[in-house]
């Protein structure tokens, strides 16, 4: 298992600096929550780590420097992510979705033939995320929460060692959140997990450690209790969190 080590990360768009010198260490096997108000730079941080946006600074995962690599190469070095709105291949079945996720390393010959059986890691993932019964349903017909689980399942079969999840429980019912949280806990026993979340209850229940981002910088870091006790956090974040908690479901950060 490897940890994530970010040094002096900066991302700017047309003069606007979204991430402004972030240093962050996530040790191997952590279940880290990233919180912060809209515009704090949480999603941009994940975008930078996964190669979606250009950034300066350094992002090391294990022994490897990720910055400057293309998206699919970063993915192949064991870093996977999900998106705020669940992105699964709607026309393909659950099984096909997972099979594709499992197959980045396949050779041409395998690719050009049909899938004749269910690969073992896919079968395992189906059970882990509880979608075994829906294996042959098109992913487009899944409920919102099920899609999120499918995405997590895809990260599992992809065998990533670092999972970056962007609001995985948004729009889920209470029971689903509970199930998701427990799933993440299990996953983090073998892998490193970073979760962006607005849901404070969910964070309190499952976070092993928390980083608070504000205006592109890390404001505070520590356990849930430590962060909650931090007056800076109370001032800039929790202060207006109450009003935003409900409303930030679909609104994208600018």
Partner 1 sequence: MNLLKGRSARAWTGFAGAAVALFAVAPAALSDFRLGLLAKYLCMAMVAVGICLAWGRGGLLTLGQGVFFGLGGYAMAMHLKIADAGPGNLPDFMQLYGTATELPWWWRPFGNPVFALAATVLLPMAVAALLGLFVFRRRVKGAYFAILSQALASAFAIWLVGQQATTGGTNGLTDIQGFFGYALDDPVNQRMVYFVIAAALLLLIALARQLIHSRYGELLVAVRDSEERVRFLGYDPANVKLVAYVVAAGMAGLAGALFVPAVGIISPALIGIVPSIEFVIGAAVGGRASLVGAVLGAIAVAWAKTALSEEFPAGWTYFQGLLFVVALAFLPGGLASLAKVLRRRGATAPAKAAVVTVGEAA
Partner 2 sequence: MTVILGQTFTGISIGAVLLLIALGLSLTFGQMNVINMAHGEFIMAGAYTTYVLQKSISSAGISLIVALPVAFLVSGALGALLEWLLIRRLYLRPLDTLLVTWGVSLMLQQLARDIFGAPNVQTRAPDALTGNITVIGGADPLTFATSRLFILGLAIAAVVALSLTLRLTPLGRRIRAVVQNRDLAEVSGISTARVDRTAFFIGSGLAGVAGVALTLVGPIGPTMGTNVIIDAFLVIVVGGIGRLRGSVIVAFVLGVLQAVLEYSTTVSVAKVLVLVAIVAFLQWRPQGLYTLRTRSLV
Residues in touch with partner 1 (CB under 8 A): 50, 52, 70-72, 75-76, 80-81, 83, 87-92, 96-97, 99-101, 103-106, 110-116, 137, 141-146, 154, 158, 170-173, 176, 249-250
According to CB under 8 A, which one of 8, 87, 173, 245 is a site residue for partner 2?
87
Rounded to a whole number of angstroms, the minimum distance from the CB of residue 96 to partner 1 is 5
Rounded to a whole number of angstroms, the minimum distance from the CB of residue 87 to partner 2 is 7
Instruction: Identify which of residues 54 and 232 has a Cβ nearer to partner 2 in the complex.
Output: 54
Residues 6 or more apart from 46 whose CB is under 8 A from it? 81, 164, 166, 194, 196
User: Which residue's entry shows tokens 């450690």?
Assistant: 209
The phi, psi pair for 10, rounded to 5°, reads -135, 135
Neighbour tally for 127: CB within 10 Å: 11
Rounded to a whole number of angstroms, the minimum distance from the CB of residue 16 to partner 2 is 10
Is 9 within 8 Å of 186 (Cβ atoms)? no
Can you tell me the distance from the alpha carbon of 158 to that of 104, in angstroms, rounded to the nearest whole number?
8
Is 1 within 8 Å of 161 (Cβ atoms)? yes
Q: Does 167 bind partner 2 (CB under 8 A)?
A: no
According to CB under 8 A, which one of 13, 104, 140, 174 is a site residue for partner 2?
13
Binding site for partner 2 (CB under 8 A): 13-14, 43-44, 47, 53, 83, 87, 252
């Amino acid at each position: 298992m490897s940890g994530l080590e970010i040094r002096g990360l900066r991302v700017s768009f047309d003069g606007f600096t979204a991430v402004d010198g972030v240093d962050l260490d996530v040790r191997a096997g952590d279940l880290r929550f990233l919180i912060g108000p809209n515009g704090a730079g949480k999603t941009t941080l994940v975008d930078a780590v996964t190669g979606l946006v250009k950034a300066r600074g350094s992002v090391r995962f294990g022994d490897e420097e990720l910055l400057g690599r293309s998206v699919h190469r970063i993915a192949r070095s064991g870093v996977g992510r999900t998106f705020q709105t669940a992105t699964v291949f709607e026309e393909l079945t659950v099984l096909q979705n997972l099979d594709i996720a499992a197959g980045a390393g396949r050779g041409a010959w395998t690719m050009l033939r049909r899938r004749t059986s269910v690969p073992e890691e896919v079968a395992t993932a189906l059970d882990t995320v509880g979608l075994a019964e829906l294996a042959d349903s098109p992913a487009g017909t899944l409920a919102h929460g099920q899609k999120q689980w499918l995405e997590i399942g895809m990260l599992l079969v992809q065998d990533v060692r670092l999972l970056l999840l962007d609001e995985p429980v948004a729009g889920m019912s209470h029971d689903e959140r509970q199930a998701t949280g427990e799933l993440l806990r299990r996953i983090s026993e073998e892998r490193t997990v970073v979760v962006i979340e607005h849901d404070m209850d969910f964070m309190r229940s499952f976070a092993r450690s928390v980083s608070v981002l504000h205006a592109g910088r890390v404001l505070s870091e520590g356990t849930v209790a430590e962060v909650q006790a931090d007056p800076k956090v109370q001032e800039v974040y929790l202060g207006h969190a109450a009003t935003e908690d409900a409303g930030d479901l679909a609104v994208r950060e600018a």
